[in-house]
Amino acid sequence: MLRAWCAFCLLLVAAAASAAGVTVSDAWLRAPAPGQAVAGVYMTLTSTDSAKLVGVRSDVAATAQLHRMSMQEGVMRMRRMTQIDLPAGQAVQLAPGGLHIMLIDLKRALKPGDTVALVLDIETAQGHHENLAVEAAVRDLGGQPVHMQAPMNMPMNMPMNMPGVSH
């Protein structure tokens, strides 16, 4: 009974967000703390054919970028990515502490229960671009700022060290 219901949910999600053979599931972001101007968005992307995520935009933020967090000389840093590879048939996870979409200069407050609409720019192996609309759910996970949830709460000099981002 439960299994049938879950399969139905997955079908709905898959139907809601699929373009160029790319399926998005479990898109979410943590509700930003009051006054926080940035938010990381996470999801799982699976492409039937080799493709790339090359851009993103959202009406809720002035800028949206592809980012990756990684450890460099003992410090957690964020890097802007020009693209995220989507190998054929492989689930690529955007998750806290790793790859993510960064919303910068949020235009409005985001509360748990809200939905944020994003448009992903997918580039196929043939070089075609397709828009993929995604709805990300705003979740409350203790109300801590998104980037303080990294493993071991490493000190992070973000996002001041990112070119092109001002606060």
Under the binding rule (CB under 5 A), the answer on residue 99 touching Cu ion is no
- Binding of Cu ion by 30 (CB under 5 A): no
Using the rule CB under 5 A, is 56 a contact of Cu ion? no
Verify binding: residue 102, Cu ion, rule CB under 5 A: yes
Residue 103 near Cu ion by CB under 5 A? no
* Contact status: 92 vs Cu ion (CB under 5 A): no
CB of 15 to Cu ion, least distance (A): 29
CA 106/CA 29 separation, integer angstroms: 13
**Residue 128 corresponds to which amino acid?**
H
Contact between 150 and Cu ion (CB under 5 A)? no
Q: Going by C-beta distance under 8 Å and a sequence separation of 6 or more, which residues neighbour residue 156?
A: 75, 76, 77, 78, 147, 148, 150
Nearer to Cu ion, 23 or 97 (CB): 97
DSSP for 2-52, written as a single string:
HHHHHHHHHHHHHHHSEETTEEEEEEEEEPPPTT--EEEEEEEEEESS-EE
Per CB under 5 A, the segment of 9-17, 75-83, 123-131, 135-143 that binds Cu ion is 75-83
Smallest separation (angstroms) from Cu ion to the CB of 68: 8
Please select the residue that binds Cu ion; options are 20, 24, 78, 99, rule is CB under 5 A: 78
By the rule CB under 5 A, 67 interacts with Cu ion:
yes
Close Cβ partners of 167 (under 8 Å, ≥ 6 residues apart) = 37, 159, 160
Q: How far is the CB of 164 from Cu ion (least distance, A)?
A: 13
What six digits make up the tokens of 27?
Answer: 């898109």
Stretch that binds Cu ion, among 5-13, 21-29, 73-81, 110-118 (CB under 5 A): 73-81
**Residue 63 falls in which region: left (phi positive, over 0), alpha (psi -120 to 50) or beta:** beta
Residues that bind Cu ion (CB under 5 A): 67, 78, 102
